[in-house]
Structure 1
Amino acid sequence: MRILVTRPAGQQQPLMEALQSAGHQACHCPALLIEPLPVSEDTRRRLMDLDLYHAVFFASANAARLALSAMADLWPQWPVGLHWLAVGKATAAEMATWHLSPEVPAEGFNSEAVLALPCLQMLNEKKVLICRGDSGRELLANALSSRGADVVALPFYRRRANPDFQLPEDCHWIMITSVESWRAVAPHLSAGLAWSGGIVAAGERVATAIAADFAGEIRVAASAHDADMVAALPDREPG
């Protein structure tokens, strides 16, 4: 089958290779464009206090790449005693390139899974830094605050819909890994478009957002991880 991968540019290759290894044709068109944000003086001041934090969490591989680059300008050696946290394996792989050994959920790869990590259970009078984009879920920050943490959330990039997004006419399935990606793709799947394919959604939350706008077949992957997305595909075309 022909599968469209919609991950941002630079993040698509592992999933495309996994699809090709499974015998599918993979093509790529990003749903979202990632635009780095300038590192403000306020952000620099907060990063200079990195050694005061109990944990530093990176919400995506983009957040890890951009935040760690900013941190490296201020810290020739990483401070010790911190819990370095990744939302999933791709983010952990990016952190490894910076010589960090992050803690990552065994499964789930979302905010709920991160909240189950042992280091985030007792947080009274502890500081937690969240490195992320300029939009997204507030679940993690709110939950950590409710556990007593002093939470600082810093944005390092913004997402915007790709104005040049195109859906190949011979595509059987689209892979959607976030609610933001779906919001960018949905306008291209209007009633006037002659397309009868299906969508693979990364988890129930993404699938629920898709189902509100899309009447076609939706397959729900266990997570946004490459193996889970490929495993959610059926052995047939949609319909």
Structure 2
Amino acid sequence: MQVLVTRPLGQQQALMDALSRAGHRPLHSPALHIEPLPVSDASRRVLMDLDLFHAVFFASSNAARLALTAMADIWPQWPVGLHWLAVGKATAAEISRWHLQPTVPDGGFNSEAVLALPCLQQLAEKKVLLCRGESGRELLAKTLAERGAEVVSLPFYRRVPSTAFHCPEGCDWVMVTSVESWQAISGHIPSAVGVVAAGERVATPVRAQHGGPLRVAASAHDEDMLAALPSM
């Protein structure tokens, strides 16, 4: 089958390789572009106090790469005693590249799974830093605050819809890994083309707007997206 991967440029290759190994023909057209944001003076002041935080959460591999680059400019040696939290395996791999030990949920790979981590249960008088994109879910920040944490959110990038997105003729399935991705491309997917959505949260708007086949993956991870495809 011809399967279109819509991840941003630079994040598509592992999934495309997995699709090829499974006998599919992978295609790529990004739904979104990642646009780094400048690190403001206010953000730098927060990062200078990094050692005062209990945990640092990275919402994506992009957030980890950009935030840790900014942190490394300030901290020649990493502060000790922090929990470095990743939402999934790709983010954890990026954290590990900076010689840090990431903590990642055993399963789920979303905000709910992160909130179940033992280090985020007792947070009275503790500070948690969220490194993320300019927009995103507020569940994590809201729940951490309810648990007593002082939560600081810093944006390190914004997601910009791709004006060049194209669903090629003959495409059988499109893989969509976020609500924002779907919103960017929803008007360009023919009704006959199937959609693989990364979880029920992504599937909900797809179901409301797309009349074609829909399959819901357990998560946005490569193996789950691949497993959601119908058998050939």
Other-structure match for 2:65: 65
Shift of 1:150: 0.2
Q: Which amino acid aligns with 2:118?
A: P
Distance 1:22 1:187 in 2: 29
1:217 match: 213
- The answer to whether the aligner puts 1:196 opposite 2:188 as a matched pair is no
Give the whole-Å Cα distance in 1 for the aligned partners of 2:29 and 2:164: 9
Q: Does 1:229 align with 2:228?
A: no
Q: Which residue does the alignment assign to 2:81?
A: 81
Determine the C-alpha separation between the residues in 1 that align with 2:35 and 2:223. 27
AA partner of residue 202 (structure 2): V
Please tell me the residue identity of whatever aligns with 1:57.
F
Amino acid paired to 2:39 = V
CA distance in 1, matches of 2:211, 2:40: 44
3-state SS of 1:212 partner: helix
Deviation of 1:30 after TM superposition, in Å, equals 0.5
Hey, which bits of structure 1, 4+ residues long, moved more than 3 A? none
Where in structure 1 are there 5+ consecutive unaligned residues?
none
Aligned pairs for 1:136-151 within 5 A: 136-151=136-151
Give the count of matched residue pairs.
232
Task: State the secondary structure of the residue aligned to 1:106.
Answer: coil
How big is the shift at 1:93?
0.7
**Identical pairs, percent:** 70
Deviation at 1:117, TM superposition (A): 0.4
> Unmatched 5+ residue regions in structure 2?
none
Quote the Cα distance in structure 1 between the aligned partners of 2:127 and 2:206: 36
Deviation for aligned residue 1:216: 1.0
Q: Hey, what does 2:39 align to over in structure 1?
A: 39
> Alpha-carbon deviations, 1:40-89, whole Å to 9, x = none?
00000000000000000000000000000000000001100000000000
Aligned-residue offset at 1:215: 1.3
Q: Distance in 1 between matches of 2:96 and 2:30?
A: 25
Query: Hey, what's the Cα distance between the residues in 2 that align with 1:101 and 1:4?
Result: 34
| 2:202 aligned residue (206, 209, 224) | 206
- Counterpart check, 1:17 vs 2:17: yes
**TM-score by structure 1 length?**
0.96
Corresponding residue for 1:103?
103
SS class of match (2:174): strand
Residue 123 of structure 2 aligns with which residue? 123
TM-score (norm 2): 0.99
- Which secondary structure does the structure 1 equivalent of 2:187 belong to? helix
